[in-house]
């Protein structure tokens, strides 16, 4: 069992190393087999440890080696696997494998095929280390590794400088959060004397009472890290640009890895967050705000991947909302169902793009329902789950979060109302996408059909998106027990009805054309708002004004090393002195005679002074 556990991250890691070193010399098929096969084997290993785990619910621990030991600071390379980890590992390897399989066809024409799979494998390995780490420092290793892989993959097509810019943005924005998180680790170690997660939770509960100032600061710093990786306001701006990478990479970043890291971090350290109620309220409010703002942005985008990107930000916002109201299990559940349907949506979108000569603009698509039936059904199922239509997986998980929000003390009902508004918007924009792309007139006709390696992952993800709501996740031992949720009948009806209303609205606007927003959108105010949403609430402009340009200005100002002016000054003075002295040695006898006599007189005077 321990071997299997170690193999889980090791296999993709080894495969990544192998492909990096020898990849370009191997035939493409072998690269595909190694790349996808490593993740498949890793997924099988997860299955093999899941079976005994589900029987006993005993957390597993494996220590590989002592990382370092300086005084009391002794983090290890060791893994800790409980129900939460198992859920994450299943998602990462399971959905990750489907994305790998899909990629073997999607990237067939690319000449950097092996580099792509090397990065993809490394991504999976880093994410697995992140979730399996038993101490926060090892978690941080995975955390930064995930950031690196996103940088490498977003900028995978490096010849376009725009892709490079998007990649750097992804890395640097998340690094801001990571640095906050690193400070959080410093604080936790300094105060509690360990970074091992389980002992740390115990120590926190012993040393801190609820509402302790240090607990609030520490959780706020960890939250900073989570906001960066999970693309929440104010560190969300990298995600819409991150679609510059190949589409399967977007699926990986948005579903199986990366953005779920922040949710995982908070769920993993929830005992710490429970000691800091103000931070929890901030988590809920940031989540709700992000969910709504991103949903508005998604309403007006025209790029198919950008719509999905904003929908991810919005859905992670729901998970944060859930975390903030203490619905840990519901959030992790939503994380899982979201991984299914978001991977499905991105892979389906990738298939559309693949079959339409890299077309991204939804208004140049249309009528694809009959031309790409497999993709259409996949997309429809994905959108239904995203919109949380009844009986899809998204419905169960989102409903659980909304109910928990409703029952949260204090601002709960307000959070619930906000969440409902978000649900309405979500249903509207997802079906706007479906109706525009797959219904109406044919705009661009597809020149190929997805092959089995693309169709099979889509089919499996369809199944999971539909039925995933019935999967029970084994996290009961991980999180504190929650009271049975009793909400009124009306609350249930509303949460079922709202998404349906959104779908109907989209139908009325884009298919039957009963309702039209044309006039509203054309009015000056309407245009201003839609422009604002299109530009993602102008966060980028704001940061450019606040941070980027000042940094560049300072750099430009300092470029020529102002400190050197001081040394130049000393040099100039020395030079002057040199001129002065060398002028004394002018070779004129008269001058020498005069100065000798003057010197003699001076010495005489001084000598007489001394004598008296």
Partner 1 sequence: MMLWLLIVLLLVGGAFAWLAERRDPNAPRWISLGAIALALFYFLASIANFSSGQLQLVPDASQASTWLMHYRVDWIPRFGIHFELALDGLSLVMVALTLILGGVAVVSSWDEIDYRPGFFHANLLWTLAGVLGVFMALDLFLFFVFWEVMLVPMYLLIAIWGHEQKAYAAMKFFLFTQISGLLMLLAILSLAYMHHSATGEASFSYFDLLGTRTTGTAGFWIMLGFFIAFTVKLPAFPFHTWLPDAHTQAPTAGSVILAGILLKTGAYGLIRFTLPLFPEQSAAFAPVAMTLGITGIIYGAVLAFAQTDFKRLVAYSSVSHMGFVILGIYAWNSLALQGAVMQMLAHGLSTAALFMTAGALQHRLHTRDMRLMGGLWNDMPRMAATAMFFAIASLGLPGMGNFIAEFLVLLGLFEVSPLAAALAALGLISAAIYALIMMQRTFLGSDAETDRQLFDYGPREMSTMAVMMIGLLWLGIYPQAVFDLTQPVLDSLSSFVADAGARP
Q: Which residues bind partner 1 (CB under 8 A)?
A: 20, 24, 65-71, 73, 77, 137, 140-141, 144-145, 148, 151, 155, 158-161, 164-165, 167-168, 171-172, 175-176, 178-179, 182-183, 186-187, 189-190, 551, 554-556, 558-559, 561, 563-564, 566-567
Extract the tokens encoding 249. 């990479």
Nearer to partner 1, 171 or 273 (CB): 171
Are 492 and 499 spatial neighbours (Cβ–Cβ below 8 Å)? no
Q: How much is the CA Rg of the chain, to the nearest whole Å? A: 31
Return the axis-axis angle of helices 2-22 and 113-132, rounded to nearest 10°.
150
Q: How far is the CB of 141 from partner 1 (least distance, A)?
A: 4
Helix (H) or strand (E) holding 262: helix 260-268
Nearer to partner 1, 77 or 479 (CB): 77
Q: How far is the CB of 71 from partner 1 (least distance, A)?
A: 5
Q: What is d(CA 49, CA 79) in angstroms, rounded to the nearest whole number?
A: 13
Q: How far is the CB of 306 from partner 1 (least distance, A)?
A: 23
Closest C-alpha among 150, 123, 147, 118 to residue 17: 118
Q: What is d(CA 351, CA 354) in angstroms, rounded to the nearest whole number?
A: 5
Nearer to partner 1, 77 or 510 (CB): 77
Please report the DSSP string for 449-471 in residue order: ---HHHHHHHHHHHHHHHHGGGP
Q: In the Cβ-directed half-sphere of 478, how many Cα atoms lie within 13 Å?
A: 26
Q: What is the DSSP letter of 255?
A: I
Nearer to partner 1, 55 or 563 (CB): 563
What is the 3 state secondary structure string of 543-573? Answer: HHHHHHHHHHHHHHHHCCCCHHHHHHHHHHH
Q: How far is the CB of 562 from partner 1 (least distance, A)?
A: 10
Q: What is d(CA 283, CA 517) in angstroms, rounded to the nearest whole number?
A: 34
Q: How far is the CB of 118 from partner 1 (least distance, A)?
A: 10
Q: Are strands 76-81 and 60-66 parallel, antiparallel or unpaired?
A: antiparallel
Nearer to partner 1, 23 or 419 (CB): 23
Closest C-alpha among 459, 431, 461 to residue 362: 431
The partner residues of 66 in beta bridges, in order of sequence, read: 76
Q: How far is the CB of 80 from partner 1 (least distance, A)?
A: 18
Nearer to partner 1, 208 or 507 (CB): 208
Q: How far is the CB of 578 from partner 1 (least distance, A)?
A: 14
User: Tokens 């140049």 identify what position?
Assistant: 364
Are 401 and 334 spatial neighbours (Cβ–Cβ below 8 Å)? yes
Closest C-alpha among 323, 225, 224, 202 to residue 273: 323
Q: How far is the CB of 490 from partner 1 (least distance, A)?
A: 49
Task: Output the CA torsion sign for 109, 114, 115, 121.
Answer: positive
CB atoms within 10 A of CB 74: 14
Please report the DSSP string for 75-140 in residue order: -EEEEEE-HHHHHHHHHHHHHHHHHHHHHHHHTTT-TTHHHHHHHHHHHHHHHHHHHHBSBHHHHH
Alpha carbon of 79 to those of 62, 124, 433: distances in Å? 5, 16, 42
Extract the tokens encoding 200. 């740390």
Nearer to partner 1, 550 or 599 (CB): 550
Alpha carbon of 580 to those of 567, 573, 574, 575, 586: distances in Å? 20, 11, 10, 9, 11
The partner residues of 78 in beta bridges, in order of sequence, read: 63
Nearer to partner 1, 531 or 544 (CB): 544
Nearer to partner 1, 227 or 455 (CB): 227
DSSP alpha helix (H) spans, 155-208: 161-192, 197-207
Nearer to partner 1, 447 or 561 (CB): 561
Nearer to partner 1, 30 or 148 (CB): 148
Extract the tokens encoding 123. 């991504």
**What region, left, alpha or beta, does residue 440 occupy, with left being phi > 0 and alpha being psi -120 to 50 degrees?**
left
Are 403 and 328 spatial neighbours (Cβ–Cβ below 8 Å)? no
Nearer to partner 1, 73 or 545 (CB): 73
CB atoms within 10 A of CB 578: 10
Nearer to partner 1, 19 or 349 (CB): 19
Q: How far is the CB of 223 from partner 1 (least distance, A)?
A: 16
Q: What is d(CA 123, CA 156) in angstroms, rounded to the nearest whole number?
A: 13
Nearer to partner 1, 187 or 275 (CB): 187
Q: How far is the CB of 145 from partner 1 (least distance, A)?
A: 7
3-class SS of residue 605: helix
Q: How far is the CB of 114 from partner 1 (least distance, A)?
A: 11
Nearer to partner 1, 159 or 590 (CB): 159
Nearer to partner 1, 136 or 316 (CB): 136
Q: How far is the CB of 487 from partner 1 (least distance, A)?
A: 44
Q: How far is the CB of 151 from partner 1 (least distance, A)?
A: 7
Q: How far is the CB of 7 from partner 1 (least distance, A)?
A: 18
Q: How far is the CB of 138 from partner 1 (least distance, A)?
A: 9
Q: How far is the CB of 564 from partner 1 (least distance, A)?
A: 5
């Amino acid at each position: 069992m321990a071997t299997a556990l170690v193999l889980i991250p090791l296999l993709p890691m080894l495969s990544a190393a192998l492909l990096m070193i020898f990849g370009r010399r191997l035939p493409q098929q072998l690269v595909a087999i190694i790349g996808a096969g490593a993740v498949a084997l890793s997924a099988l290993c997860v299955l093999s440890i899941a079976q005994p785990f589900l029987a006993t619910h005993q957390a597993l621990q494996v220590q590989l080696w002592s990382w370092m030991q300086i005084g009391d600071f002794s983090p290890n390379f060791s893994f800790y696997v409980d129900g939460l980890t198992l859920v994450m590992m299943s998602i990462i390897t399971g959905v990750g494998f489907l994305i790998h399989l899909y990629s073997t066809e999607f990237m067939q024409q690319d000449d950097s095929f092996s580099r792509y799979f090397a990065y993809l494998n490394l991504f999976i390995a880093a994410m697995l280390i992140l979730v399996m780490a038993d101490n926060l420092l090892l978690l941080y290793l995975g955390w930064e590794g995930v950031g690196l892989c996103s940088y490498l993959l977003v900028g995978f097509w490096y010849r376009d400088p725009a892709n490079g810019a998007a990649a750097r943005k992804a890395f640097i924005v998340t690094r801001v959060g990571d640095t906050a998180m690193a400070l959080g680790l410093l604080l936790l170690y300094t105060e509690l004397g360990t970074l091992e997660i389980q002992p740390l939770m115990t120590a926190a509960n012993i040393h801190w009472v609820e509402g302790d100032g240090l607990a609030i600061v520490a959780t706020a710093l960890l939250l900073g890290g989570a906001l960066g990786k999970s693309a929440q306001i104010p560190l969300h701006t990298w995600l819409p640009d991150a679609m510059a990478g190949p589409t399967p990479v977007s699926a990986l970043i948005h579903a199986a890895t990366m953005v779920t890291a922040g949710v995982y971090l908070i769920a993993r350290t929830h005992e710490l967050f429970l000691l800091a109620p103000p931070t929890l309220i901030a988590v809920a409010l940031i989540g709700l705000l992000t969910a709504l703002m991103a949903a508005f942005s998604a309403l007006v985008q025209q790029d198919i991947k950008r719509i999905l990107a904003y929908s991810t930000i919005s859905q992670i916002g729901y998970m944060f909302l859930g975390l903030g109201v203490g619905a840990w299990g519901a959030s992790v559940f939503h994380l899982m169902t979201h991984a299914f349907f978001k991977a499905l949506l991105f892979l389906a979108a990738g298939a559309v793009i693949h079959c339409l000569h890299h077309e991204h603009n939804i208004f140049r698509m249309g009528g694809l329902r009959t031309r790409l039936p497999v993709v259409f059904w996949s997309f429809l199922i994905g959108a239904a789950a995203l919109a949380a239509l009844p009986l899809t997986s998204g419905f169960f998980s989102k409903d659980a979060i909304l109910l928990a929000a409703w029952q949260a003390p204090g601002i709960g009902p307000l959070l619930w109302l906000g969440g409902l508004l978000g649900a309405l918007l979500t249903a509207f924009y997802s079906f706007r996408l479906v109706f525009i792309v797959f219904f109406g007139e044919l705009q661009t006709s597809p020149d190929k059909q997805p092959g089995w390696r693309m169709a099979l992952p889509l089919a499996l993800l369809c199944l999971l998106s539909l039925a995933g709501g019935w999967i029970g996740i084994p996290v009961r031992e991980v999180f504190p027990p929650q009271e049975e949720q009793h909400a009124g009948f009306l609350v249930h009806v509303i949460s079922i009805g709202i998404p349906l209303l959104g779908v109907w609205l989209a139908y009325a606007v884009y298919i039957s054309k009963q309702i039209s927003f044309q006039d509203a959108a054309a009015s000056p105010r309407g245009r201003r708002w839609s422009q604002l949403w299109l530009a993602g609430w102008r966060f980028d402009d704001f940061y450019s004004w606040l941070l980027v340009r000042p940094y560049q200005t300072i750099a430009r100002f300092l470029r020529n090393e102002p400190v050197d002016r001081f040394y130049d000054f000393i040099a100039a003075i020395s030079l002057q002195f040199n001129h002065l002295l060398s002028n004394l040695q002018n070779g004129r006898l008269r001058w020498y005679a005069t100065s000798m006599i003057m010197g003699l007189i001076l010495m005489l005077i001084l000598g007489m002074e001394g004598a008296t």
